[in-house]
Amino acid sequence: MPLPDCPMKLPALANPTFSISPARLKPWHAGLAAAALLVAGLLTTWAVQAADEKAKPAPEAGKPAPKPALTVTATQPQRSEIGSVLGANGSIAAWQEAVVGAEANGLRLAEVRVNVGDVVRKGQVLATFAPELVRADLAQSQAAVAEAEATLGEAAANAQRARDLQASGALSAQQINQYLTAERTAQARLASVKAMAQTQQLRLAQTQVLAPDNGVISARTATVGAVVAPGTELFRLIRQGRLEWRAEVAADELAQLKAGQAVRVLAASGAAVEGRLRMVAPTVDPATRNGLVYVDLPAAGAQNAGLKAGMFARGEFSTGQRSGLTLPQSAVLLRDGFSYVFKLGADNKVTRAKVAVGRRVGERIEITSGLDAGARVVASGAGFLTDGDTVRVVDAAPAVKPAAK
- Decide: residue 4, CB within 10 A, 0-12 exposed, 13-18 middle, 19+ buried: exposed
Q: Summarize pLDDT for 281-327 with one digit per residue, the tens.
A: 999 999 999 999 999 998 887 887 788 888 999 998 888 777 888 99
Task: Evaluate whether residue 179 is within a structural domain.
Answer: yes
Residue 32 is predicted with a pLDDT of 64
Give the whole-angstrom CA distance, residue 358 versus residue 373: 16
How many CA atoms lie within 13 Å of 29's alpha carbon, on the beta-carbon side?
14
Structure-model confidence comparison of residues 228 and 39, the more confident one = 228
Average pLDDT for 324-347 = 88
Please tell me the distance from the alpha carbon of residue 55 to that of residue 125, in angstroms, as a whole number: 107
- Asked if 181 and 80 count as a contact pair (C-beta separation under 8 A), the reply is no
Name the 3-class secondary structure at 273: strand
Say if residues 100 and 237 touch (Cβ distance below 8 Å).
yes
Which residues have C-beta within 8 Å of that of residue 232, sequence separation ≥ 6? Answer: 101, 102, 221
Q: Are residue 248 and residue 273 in the same domain, yes or no?
A: yes
Q: What sign does the CA torsion over 205, 206, 212, 215 have? A: negative
Same domain, residue pair 26 and 76: no
Considering the domain boundaries, does residue 283 fall inside one?
Answer: yes
Please report, for the domain that includes residue 365, its CATH number.
Answer: 2.40.420.20
Number of H helices, E strands in the chain: 4, 21
Which of 319, 341, 365 is the last residue before a domain boundary?
Answer: 319
| pLDDT tens digits for range 189-234 | 999 999 999 999 999 999 999 999 999 999 999 999 999 899 899 9
For the chain, how many structural domains are there in total?
4
**DSSP for residue 338:** E
pLDDT, position 76? 87
Domain contains 108: no
Comparing 28-42, 118-132, 250-264, 344-358, the range with the smallest average pLDDT is: 28-42
Residues ≥6 apart with Cβ < 8 Å to 304: 271
Length of the chain: 405
**C-beta of residue 276 within 8 angstroms of C-beta of residue 295:** yes
Q: Say whether both 13 and 45 belong to one domain.
A: yes
Establish if 143 belongs to a structural domain: yes
C-alpha span between 366 and 374 (Å, rounded): 15
Tell which residue, 124, 77, 84, 134, has the closest CA to residue 100: 124
How far, in Å, CA of 306 to CA of 224, rounded?
31
CATH number where 245 lies: 2.40.30.170
Residue 76 domain-assigned (yes or no): yes
On whether residue 115 sits in a domain, the answer given is no
Asked if residue 262 is part of any domain, the answer here is yes
- Is-above-0.85 flag for pTM? no
Report whether pLDDT(253) > 50.
yes
DSSP result, 214-254: SEEEEEE---TT-EE-TT-EEEEEEETT-EEEEEEEEGGGG
> Facing residues of 212 across strands?
none
pLDDT tier at 150, thresholds 50, 70, 90 = very high
Domain that holds residue 140: 131-206
Whether 202 and 149 share a structural domain: yes
The pLDDT of residue 405 is 42
